[in-house]
Structure 1
Amino acid sequence: MQIAFVGKARYSTPWAIALISVGLLGIGAAAYVSMRGAHGAEDELNRKTTEVSLTNLTVRIVANGIVRPIEIVNLSPKNAGRLAALNVEQGDRVQKGQVIARMESRDLEAQLMQAKAIVAQTQAQFAQLQNGTRPEELIQAQASVRQGEAQVDQSKSRLKLARDRVQRNQLLQSEGAIALDRLDEVLNEQRSAEATLLQTQANLSQIQSRLTQLQNGPRPEEITKAAAQVREAEGRVRAIMIQLEDTIIRAPFDGIITQRYADPGAFVTPTTSASANASATSTSVVALANGLEILAKVPEVDIGQIKLKQTVEIVADSFPDQVFEGRVRLIAPVAVVDQNVTSFEVRVDLSTGLDRLRSGMNVDASFVGQQINNALVIPTVAIVSEKGETGVYLPGSDDKQKTEFKPVTLGTTIGDQTQVIRGLTVGERVYIDLPKDKKSRLR
């Protein structure tokens, strides 16, 4: 019996070993598959979630803007006329006071010469009154009086003679010694003598008045009147000189000629028309611009975070790989409503990029605000809403394959990250790729 038992044992040992080996392999394979599945689930969870972390955040307000000149003006003459000369071309840089163009001025130059002649005449008359009567003028006037008196005496003598002849001829005619026609002749001579006497007496009176005036000198009101005439004539000269100066068009400030609207010989007027486009027409001569700034439109909800001298980072569509710098210069006190969107215009002085940026370029302006140190942040895509509450989904505390909703209080959103004020701690994981049954709850 014992031998038989031994013989059976010898015969069954290889099978037993084989069975044991297969069992061990099965157990190992099961353990391997189990471990591999666990690692795979963990990798999948890590792929769909991310850790809540601490970082330093800088608040930024991004707004659309446009590059525009700080100063821009259309230059035109004060009075309508023909353009005589234009001394600049588009793109030329000019200095304040530089002559840009000249209008025709020949008519004004002729008027100026005439006005200056009138000034000289009135000044001479005024000086004459101020200086009083010259001795030679008085002597001449006295001589004129004596001559007038002599003429009066002569006229009186002629009248006396004529009257005597009339008396004689009247007597002769009454006696029939002469004809009536002869009497009429001497009567006419008497009337002529009377008229001559009256004329010489009037001339004498005028000459005597002139002598009296010269002896007394000019009256104060005459001197005042002459002085006023001088001032009036000089004022006319100044007015014409101002008109002549207005025919010269000068640059009111340093800048660059951005547009040229007219050519020499063209008729231009003081009226200007707004021209935002380069192809727009204008009755102006040229357009002058100075400096560059950014005009940005900041939404109403963000305007409270914009401050004067605040740093601004600018990226132009024409230079997407370059960041230019600037500072806030002005915040408009009144909002602008465009298509039911309320915004405020903010002007930004450029610190860099003046040599590259051009007026009219579109830009994105990023207003750099306060820095938040050690801020608790999560990706913005992790934020969801459930039953009216804002929060995030976390892996289940008991079963990582399940999700748990956790309400959070949010702070500032900057780019693709959002600050969490309450509700999470560093190191917790939140879903950024939600299960299909949860994706409808994305905020």
Structure 2
Amino acid sequence: MAEHCLTTPVTEAASPEPALAGAGSKRRRWPPWWVWLLGLLGLLGLVPIVGPRVGLLPPPGREAAGSNLNALTQPVEAADLTVRVQGRGSVVAVTTVNLSPKTAGRLEALYVDQGDTVAAGQVLARMEAGTLEAELAQRRAQLAQTEAEYDRVVAGSRPEAIRRAESQVASAQSQLALAVSQRDRFRDLAAQGAISQNELDQYETEARNAEARLNEAQQQLAETASGSRPEEIEAAAAAVAAAQAQVEIIQTQLGEATIRAPFDGVVTQTYATVGAIVTPTTSASATASATSSSILALSSGLEVDVEVSEASIGQVAVGQTVEIVADAFPQETFQGRVKRIAPEALIENNVTVFQVAVDLQTGLDRLRSGMTVEATFIGETVAAALLVPTVAIATENGQLGVRVADAAGNPVFRPVTVGVT
């Protein structure tokens, strides 16, 4: 029989009195069905009070019949009372994701099925990647080319290049000597008036050009002999880095074409079939709308989400023991502990409730995500609580109380403060 705990005394100072469960202005026998009804009502709840006997509040205008006093009263009992808060909820996965590729493509292979247990890093599916593989080969060839150029620049000029530069210097020197000789000879002729000034100017120009060619050849020889300049080496190194980055980009895209499990878990759903086009818009999404473009859903761990009424949430705390009974296994009780309490209430059908997450301690091998459960939160125990049936609690002038019998056997209302239920 459920009971209530009261914290205000309801006894008379002189002597204990029975509290009436009901009385009329005329004496009559209660029919047998009322006795059964009283028992059934008692099953509805027990309440802690202080006092010897309490009873049902009689209707207005009725008085208790002395001969029925014992039949209409219930003795107050002292017992340890454990607070229990009821809630209803469902089993849910602790972590759930819908897996999709990062780039749109065709599903080439699917290696798992619904219900399979997988490990973190395990290959679950693979996207077609023929185009990426061809592009990777091209990028690797470009990388090899830039690396060869870098090696050439760093190594400097080869001996044959130096010999070519030396030969060009020697040729320029010969050309300069010839041009100077012709210029000097034609200067003498011009002084004698044998040639015009215009003809002499042509040989003067040729001598200057030959001297410039010699200077250029000598500078080229010096650069060839000294090796590559620092800026040339830096430019070659930058080209190698750019080519390497292109290779890594393609390698990353190829890696993303292989779908791996992000954590240990169970495949709860498979959405795509081999050959289907899958888009990247919902990669790693946990929303139901993501399923149309996902490959599969993966979940890990189980917990219970329970809705607790606003009136009872104050008796629930993190770490509290919870007894769980699933509709699928009504004869079994699973154990859990309160994991977290939602900081914000929800309003469902005009009822304010709080979401409470319960960490499962047992039943992980039996319970399944989506199962409906009843949860009982085990609260503190009130030692030696005084208990009366909930139906014995009445209200008079806005106050809660019980009716007890005075010395004359008449019902007297006594205000009480109700404790835990």
Q: TM-score, normalised by structure 1?
A: 0.67
Amino acid of the structure 2 residue aligned with 1:406: R
The Cα of 1:246 is off from its aligned counterpart by 0.8
State whether residues 324 and 333 of structure 2, in contact with CA within 8 Å, keep that contact through their aligned partners in structure 1.
yes
Unaligned 5+ segments in structure 2 are: 1-28, 33-64, 180-209
Which residues of 2 match residues 203-352 of structure 1 at below 5 A?
A: 210-272=220-282, 276=288, 281-352=291-362
Report what 1:418 is aligned to. none
Question: What residue in structure 2 maps to residue 407 of structure 1?
Answer: 415
Provide the residue aligned with 1:94 in structure 2. Answer: 118
What residue identity is the alignment partner of 1:93?
A: T
Conserved? CA contact 1:275–1:282, under 8 Å: no
Q: 1:204 to 1:69 in 2, by over 3 A?
A: farther
Partner of residue 42, structure 2:
none
Structure 1 unaligned residues grouped into runs of 5+? 1-36, 157-199, 414-443
Report the CA distance between 1:239 and its aligned residue: 1.3
Q: Residues 97 and 286 of structure 2 are in contact (CA less than 8 Å); yes or no, is this contact kept in structure 1?
A: no
Q: CA deviation at 1:47?
A: 4.3
Superposed displacement of residue 79, structure 1: 1.0
Offset from partner CA, 1:199-241 (integer Å, 9 cap, x none): x999999876654431232111111111111111111111111
Residue pair 2:96, 2:286 contacting (<8 A) in 1 also: no
Q: How does 1:2-151 map to 2 (within 5 A)?
A: 45-143=69-167
- 1:398 matches 2:389: no
After superposition, the Cα gap between the structure-2 partners of 1:111 and 1:201, relative to the gap in structure 1 and judged at 3 Å, is farther
Letter in 2 for 1:363: V
Contact kept, 8 Å, 1:274 with 1:282, in 2: the verdict is no
SS in 1 for 2:275: coil
Rounded Cα–Cα distance in structure 2 between residues aligned with 1:148 and 1:123:
36
After superposition, the C-alpha distances for 1:265-324 in whole angstroms (9 at most, x for unaligned) are 1110112276559xx942110000011001112223333322221101111122222211
> Of the two structures, which has the highest relative contact order with CA contacts closer than 8 Å and spacing of 6 or more?
2
Is the helix fraction higher in 1 or 2? Answer: 1
Task: Identify which of 356, 371, 383 aligns with 2:393.
Answer: 383
Separation of aligned partners in 2, 1:126 and 1:391 = 97
Letter matched to residue 390 of structure 2: T
Counterparts of 1:68 and 1:357 in 2: how far apart (Å)?
10
Decide whether aligned partners of structure 1 residues 104 and 144 sit closer, same or farther in structure 2, where only a CA change above 3 A counts. Answer: farther
Q: Which residue identity lines up with residue 416 of structure 2 in the other structure?
A: V
Measured in 2, the distance between the counterparts of 1:145 and 1:306 equals 97
Paired residue type of 1:133 = S
TM-score by length of 2: 0.71
* 1:92–1:43 CA distance, 2 compared to 1 (3 A): farther
Closer, same or farther: CA 201–108 of 1 in aligned 2, 3 Å: farther
Separation in 2, partners of 1:316, 1:56: 28
CA spacing shift, 1:209–1:334, aligned 2, 3 Å: farther
For 1:266, the aligned partner's letter is A
Partner amino acid for 2:81?
A: L
Letter in 2 for 1:295: D
Instruction: Report the Cα distance in structure 2 between the residues aligned to 1:349 and 1:207, rounded to whole angstroms.
Output: 85
Sequence identity percentage: 50
